[in-house]
Chains A and B, each alone.
Chain A
Amino acid sequence: MGRSVRRLLMLLIAVPTLADAQGGRRRGRMSGIPSDWQGYVQSGDLNDITNPPYDGRFTFLRIRFEPDGGGGFGFRVDRKWDHDTPRAELHFMKILSELTTIRPFMNGGTILPFDSAELFRYPIAYVSEPGFWSMSDKERTGLQAYVAKGGFLIFDDFGGEHWYNFERRWQEAFPALKIVPLDLSNPIFDAFFRIESLDFSHPYFGMKSEFYGAYEDNDPKKRLVMIANFNNDIGDYMEFSDEGWLPISLTNEAYKLAVNYVVYAMTH
């Protein structure tokens, strides 16, 4: 059975299950979420998003996009890009602050589309569920400028057939930039923690995780402009890290990856 077919079968089973699980958890858990975020978490209304003003600190940037396909979580639209927010950001920033000398913005993060002028104040961007990622022409132009100027992208929370959409969208934006598999020798896996093994699996479906990236000018001696956690979901690990929903050892590894990504992007 080919790899693509395997991914497809797994996705057919996995996605509705996962979506339902996430939606249910979201509805019941508002404790610890800053007041700025409670409106959006409850309503799902974009107008309820309140981004903090820029102050030079590292602020977690989540990219907002119009999902291409997908479904809903019962009473509300499933926007895909907002999976795990804001709890993943809140937890990650706390970890980042405790482990490193980075002094990040602690009250969640900021949410912007690729066509926002504000985007360029946050050179690291997190894209959740790129399997449903879509872009307008303006967003594509914004993304191209963002990467060309020095921005760094983290694609997360996708697996199986989601790859095809991610790959297609990437090539639409960067037809010349090849997506290449990464191994442990890449500096990104030694930027803060020394990652001993890339033997991860998807938190829900057990598929073996794979790490992909794209180099500036396709030159491995230059910086990575993006990293893709395929068949993985470090956002989920971070979101539920305070509940024991997922194994602690895997959650630890997810945090290690996330910290490395940020430190790498701030030094390369």
Chain B
Amino acid sequence: MSFSCRREAAYRSRCTIRHFVPAGQQRKPLALRSISWSPAIVVRPPDRSFRGIDAPPRVNAIFEFLFKYSPVMYSRGTLTFAAGIPGWPLLLAAPLAVLGVAVWSYRRAGGALRLGDRLLLGSMRALALALLAFCLLRPMLAVSTAIPQRNVVGVVVDDSKSMRIVDRDSLSRARRVLELVGSADSALVRALAERFQIRFFRTSGAGGRTSDLAGLQFDASRTRLIPALTQAEDELAGAPVAGLVLLSDGADNSSTVVGEPGLAEQLLALRARGIPVYAVGIGSEELARDLEVARLDVPHAVLKDGAMSVEVIVTQRGYAGRKVPVVVEDGGRIVGSREVTLPRDGEAVVTRIRIPTSERGARAISVRVPVQPGEMVAENNERRTLVDVRDRREKILYIEGEPRFELKFLRRAVENDANLQVVTLLRSAKDKFLRLSVDDSVELASGFPRAREELFAYRAIVLGSIEAGFFTLDQLRMLSDFVSVRGGGLLALGGRSSLAEGGYEGTPLADVLPVDLSGPPRDTTTADEVALSPTAAGLLHPAMQLAGTDSGTAERWRTMPHLTMVNGVGRPKPGTTVLLEGKLSDSATTRARLPVFSFERFGRGKSAVFAVQDSWLWQMAEEVPIEDLSHETFWKQVLRWLVSDVPDRLEVIAPDESGPGEGIVVRAAVSDAAYLRANGASVQVTVNGGSPIPLEWAADRDGEYRTTVVPDGEGVQELRVRTVIGRDTLVSEPAYVRVASPMAEFFGAAMRPGLLRQVAEETGGRYYDAGDAMRLAKDIVYSASGATVVERHDLWDMPAIFLVLLAALATEWWWRRRRGLA
């Protein structure tokens, strides 16, 4: 009788066993073929190099017949020899001896055999001798094996709503789980109970132990697999845990909750615990008949009295070719609709619907497609989100170096937009300025701002035809910081004193702008006529939508009048998105496609170049009908886009939706007047005008404050943050959170084995399809976790060795006969 124990690989940091259990005390005799312990030769295959463990059952069965043991045993075990010969001399001497005998035995045959014959016969004999030698060394497979009834296995059951889906064999996923583990008589429970003590856990809530699986309601509105596994491990702390068995459809949606760590982070923490997870995928990887609003993209906040684009992605299976309407509702009122033709199975169709933003406040936008006959999941035919429609006047500073029609028509295009205030500083003569749309007599009274606080009060800047030399170096740096630090929008227009022709090359703004300014300035005494066409990105961009439909927008752009350019606009920088390309009318340069309208993200903000000098021709040109609003629409949208997502000094970050009773993580970013993040502010949040709740400074990020609030009741909650910083008191724009039962469970509702596989592989466990789950009970025996002993299994008598030996000897005999030697 002997005892053994083994430490698992180094990465399993919690592996500290361990129990030393006499083999004879096992309830059932162990198949211990050897109880000797020889450290002489340990050839350990890499854990995951043997891919057979994931092979189909039939392949596994053949493998087990040939090699005597299952692939899992080989993947977990190590090869040892029981003959007691020291390892390194054996490794050196055995091949030489075998080769020597083989060569010597055929050397005597002399000239009767050709070299090729001798090589073949020698090889066959060497192979046979090598196999015999291998068997004489008594090879053994040493595998850590769980000690019967000394280990615990935790069975974690996903009891979320998605488990109610009936997607295979007319059985719901929940029913399939209960068949496997629902009672003491269930197949998997019986198999596991032979060697392990079993504890049951659920995933709902924060996870936790349950004793009544049959009583599970499967009504949890979120699936948090990894926290549930972590919770189970916590509850099993102190016990020898052989592993966790997870039964789930893999539809984890914990990452949709703002404030929770991402899956990768959660996985890392789980892996560090070193307990293998054996995951069983429940459900079908493809729903046979389903229509789903897979994605709904809308801006987080928009200005009132405009339009926004609602981008919808619909996926389907089983209804290819069918035409269905995609309906957009705002607070229950239909505001847009588009008919789409469903694509082939598994493919997505994308559609964009423009809807008006005519009412301020939190708008409950929902998109739905009608439920089709025979659909397996009806709940995923509708998606909802909140859009904050803001009614506030966004100040844009337009600095122009010369009176020109571009100024007049740009201002005219947006003059009836109550949400845009284009404050204009026009240099009408040397040192003479005309101010338009200023708030009071003080604003811009000293010309272009010289202080950051003054410049950063604007949310966007339009640079007209004004040379770089007009600005001081400090002002140019401020303009650069306006984009990168303040997060504002900057738009440079074409003109005789713009871009490279305005001397901006080598200035701080050259880095900010999305096009290369390094070329030689162009001669601005002539102009090039340019035909414009939107790029693919341009056709989708909110600033470029000139009609209610994509095709209408494309058609309108096709017929827009040609404009002129006086700037030799350079190539777009990496990361730049080109929205409009220009083709020069000059036949010698027709191949050139100029980036006429392009933008890039720069730091916290965005910068754009619109390199033509006379977009007003889109308004004035003879071929443009009087009632055409393309010019107005374009500029309203461009300026609204320019100020979109521009941060305030006080920004509130909260999720769009939350489940009832769930905590809402509220974060606030506070900046001073120069938009430098400010620590040490006093920050409070109110929910629906209730009592203020203080936010604590998050030490890991400058200027960020956090707290968690749990609203009472359901419905749209208004969060308003107030801060006192220095002598300033700031109140944020309201942030809205919809508290309702989350529907995330029904989106992407097909079984997703990816995460389950990843969890299993990262923790050293395995993934099984539901139909193959019974193998789990056998494989978990060889878990390296928990209380284990090392079992040694003889390998010399595996059929594969016998077959190869037979083949080698038979081949040698047959070849000798052919050559007349036998």
| Of the residues B401, B621, B622, contact of A101 by C-beta under 8 Å | B401
Query: Chain B's nearest CB lies how many Å from the CB of A119?
Result: 7
- Name the interface size band of chain A: 20 to 34
Ordered by A's residue number, 20 sampled pairs between the chains whose C-beta atoms are within 8 Å are A54-B527, A55-B525, A56-B527, A102-B402, A118-B622, A120-B617, A121-B620, A121-B621, A123-B409, A145-B622, A150-B412, A150-B616, A150-B619, A150-B620, A192-B432, A262-B403, A266-B408, A267-B407, A267-B426, A267-B434
Neighbour of B566 across the interface among A56, A123, A145, A266, CB < 8 A: A56
A100 to B432, CA, bound (A): 9
Smallest CB separation, B128 vs chain A (Å): 93
A268 surroundings in chain B (CB, below 8 A): 408
Interface membership of B20, Cβ < 8 A: no
With A100-B428, A103-B496, A268-B408: A120-B622 Cβ-Cβ less than 8 Å = yes
Across the interface, A266 reaches (CB within 8 A) one of B403, B527, B619, namely: B403
Q: Does A58 sit at the interface, judged by CB under 8 A?
A: yes
A149 touches B430 (CB 8 A): no
B residues 396-427 with Cβ under 8 Å of A? Answer: 401-405, 407-409, 411-412, 424, 426-427
Could you say which of A100, A192, A262, A266 has the most chain B C-beta atoms within 10 Å of its C-beta?
Answer: A266
Interchain CA distance A55-B436 in the complex, whole Å: 27
Given contacts A55-B527, A101-B430, A192-B428, contact A263 B408 (CB under 8 A): no
Q: B612-629: contact bitstring with A at CB < 8 Å (1 yes, 0 no)?
A: 011011011111101000
Q: CA A223 – CA B408 in complex, angstroms? A: 11
Interface flags for A213-239 (1: CB within 8 Å of B; 0: not) read: 000000000010000000000000000
Whether A58 contacts B404 by the Cβ 8 Å rule is yes
- Chain B residues within an 8 Å CB radius of A100: 402-403, 428-429
Known interface pairs A149-B624, A149-B626, A150-B412. Does A101 touch B402 (Cβ–Cβ under 8 Å)? yes
Any chain B CB within 8 A of the CB of A13?
no
Query: Is A265's beta carbon under 8 Å from chain B?
Result: yes
Contact across chains for B622 and A123 when beta carbons are under 8 A apart: no
Contacts A54-B564, A56-B566, A267-B408 supplied; 4 other A-B pairs, CB < 8 Å: A101-B403, A120-B620, A149-B620, A262-B403
- The answer to the question of A99 belonging to the interface, with a C-beta cut-off of 8 Å to chain B, is yes
Contact across chains for A148 and B404 when beta carbons are under 8 A apart: no
Residue of A nearest to B427 (CB): A101
A266 touches B622 (CB 8 A): no
Q: Does A191 interact with chain B (Cβ within 8 Å)?
A: yes
Closest residue of A by beta carbon distance from B621: A120
* Chain B neighbourhood of A121, CB < 8 A: 617, 620-621
Listed residue (B404, B496, B619) with the most chain A CB atoms within 10 angstroms of its CB: B404
Contacts of B428 in A (CB 8 A): 100-101, 192, 263
CB distance from A224 to the nearest CB of B (A): 12
For A151, the chain B residues whose CB sits under 8 A away are 620
A117 within 8 A of B: yes
Q: A56-B527, A191-B434, A265-B408 are in contact. Are A102 and B622 (CB under 8 A)?
A: no
Inter-chain contacts of A99 with B (CB < 8 A)? 429
B526 at the interface (CB under 8 A from A): yes
Judge whether A101 and B620 touch: CB under 8 Å: no
CA distance A155 to B822 in the complex (A): 125
- On chain B, the residues within 8 Å of A263 by CB distance are 403, 428, 434
B728 to chain A: closest CB distance in Å?
A: 35
Residues of B within 8 A of A118 (CB): 622
Chain A, residues 244-268, CB within 8 Å of chain B (1/0): the string is 0000000000000000001101111
Per the bound structure, the CA–CA distance linking A174 and B162 in Å amounts to 68
Contact A103 B408 (CB under 8 A): no
Distance in Å: Cβ of A225 to nearest Cβ of chain B: 12
- Least distance between A199 CB and chain B CB atoms (Å): 25
Which A-chain residue is minimally distant from B525 (CB atoms)? A55
Q: Mark A118-160, 1 if CB is under 8 A from B, else 0.
A: 1111010000000000000000000001001111000000000
Closest 5 CB pairs of A and B: A266-B403, A117-B622, A101-B402, A55-B527, A120-B620
> Which residues of chain A (36-86) have a CB below 8 Å from chain B?
54-56, 58
Decide if B496 touches A266 in the complex (CB within 8 Å).
Answer: no
Residues of B within 8 A of A120 (CB): 617, 620-622
Residues of chain B touching chain A, judged by Cβ–Cβ distance below 8 Å, are 401-405, 407-409, 411-412, 424, 426-430, 432, 434, 436, 496, 525-527, 564, 566, 613-614, 616-617, 619-624, 626
B403 and A119: CB pair below 8 A? Answer: no
Provide the residues of chain B in CB contact with A54, threshold 8 Å.
527, 564
B39 to chain A, nearest CB (A): 88
Instruction: Decide if B564 touches A55 in the complex (CB within 8 Å).
Output: yes
Of A119, A150, A192, most buried by chain B (CB within 10 Å of CB) is A150
Q: In the assembled complex, how far is the CB of residue B789 from the closest CB belonging to chain A, in whole angstroms?
A: 89
The reply to whether B626 and A145 contact each other, CB–CB distance below 8 Å, is yes
Please measure, in the bound complex, the distance between the C-alpha atom of A103 and the C-alpha atom of B619, giving whole angstroms.
22
| Chain B residues positioned under 8 Å from A58 (CB to CB) | 404-405
Residue pair B626, A148 in contact (C-beta under 8 Å): yes
The CA-CA distance from A54 to B528 in the complex, in Å, is: 10
Contact for B526 among A55, A102, A223, CB less than 8 A: A55
A155 CA / B494 CA spacing, docked (Å): 32
A267–B434 alpha-carbon span in the complex (Å): 9
A58–B496 Cα distance when bound, in Å, is 12
**Are B403's CB and A56's CB within 8 A?**
no
Docked pose: A114 CA to B397 CA in angstroms: 36
| Distance, CA A145 to CA B616, complexed state (A) | 15
Nearest residue (CB) in A for B529 is: A54
CA distance A60 to B434 in the complex (A): 22
Chain B, residue nearest A266 (CB): B403
Residues of chain A within 8 A of B525, CB atoms compared: 55
Residues of A contacting B432 in the complex (Cβ-Cβ under 8 angstroms): 192
Task: Name B623's closest neighbour in chain A (CB-CB).
Answer: A117
Bound-state CA distance A102–B426 (Å) is 11
Q: Is the CB of A119 within 8 A of B407?
A: no
User: Cβ of A102 and Cβ of B408 under 8 Å apart?
Assistant: no
Taking a contact as CB atoms under 8 Å apart, the answer to whether A123 and B616 are in contact is yes
With the chains together, A151 CA to B405 CA distance in Å?
A: 10
Shortest CB–CB separation between residue A233 and chain B, in angstroms?
A: 25
Q: Please name all residues of chain A whose beta carbon is closer than 8 Å to the beta carbon of B405 when the two chains form the complex.
A: 58, 123, 266
Bound: A267/B412 CA distance, A: 9
Q: Which residue on chain B has the smallest CB distance to residue A147?
A: B626
A103 proximity list for chain B (CB < 8 A): 402, 496
Residues in B whose Cβ lies below 8 Å from that of A191: 434
Q: Please give, as numbers and ranges, the residues of chain B lying within 8 Å of A265 by CB-CB distance.
A: 408
Contacting residues, chain A, for B566 (C-beta < 8 A): 56
A141–B622 Cα distance when bound, in Å, is: 11
- Of B403, B404, B430, B566, which is in contact with the most chain A CB atoms at under 10 Å from its CB? B403
Closest chain A residue to B625 by CB distance? Answer: A145
Question: How far is the CB of B235 from the nearest CB of chain A, in Å?
Answer: 73
Chain A residues contacting B408 (CB-CB under 8 Å) are 123, 150, 265-268
Q: Please report the C-alpha to C-alpha distance between residue A120 and residue B408 in the assembled complex, in whole angstroms.
A: 15
Decide: A266 near B616, CB < 8 A? Known: A56-B527, A101-B427.
Answer: no
**Contact digits for A164-193, partner B, Cβ 8 Å, 1 yes 0 no:** 000000000000000000000000000110
Which residues from chain B contact A223 at a C-beta distance below 8 Å? 412
Q: Which of A100-117 contact B (CB under 8 A)?
A: 100-103, 117
CB distance from A80 to the nearest CB of B (A): 25
- Determine the residue in chain A with the shortest Cβ distance to B614: A56
B411: chain A residues at CB < 8 Å are: 267
Give B566's nearest chain A residue, CB to CB: A56
- How far, in whole Å, are A117 and B617 apart by their CA atoms in the complex? 12
Report chain A residues within 8 Å CB of B620. Answer: 120-121, 123, 149-151
Q: What residues of chain B lie closer than 8 Å to A117, measured between beta carbons?
A: 622-623
A56 touches B622 (CB 8 A): no
In the bound complex, what is the Cα–Cα distance between A25 and B736 (angstroms)? 76
Which residue on chain A has the smallest CB distance to residue B430?
Answer: A101
- In angstroms, Cα B406 to Cα A58, docked, is 11
Query: What is the distance, in angstroms, from A114's C-beta to the closest C-beta of chain B?
Result: 11
Q: Using Cβ atoms and an 8 Å threshold, which residues of chain A touch B429?
A: 99-101, 192
Q: For the complex formed, measure the closest distance between the CB of B85 and the CB atoms of chain A, giving whole angstroms.
A: 94
Distance of A151 Cα from B566 Cα, bound (Å): 23
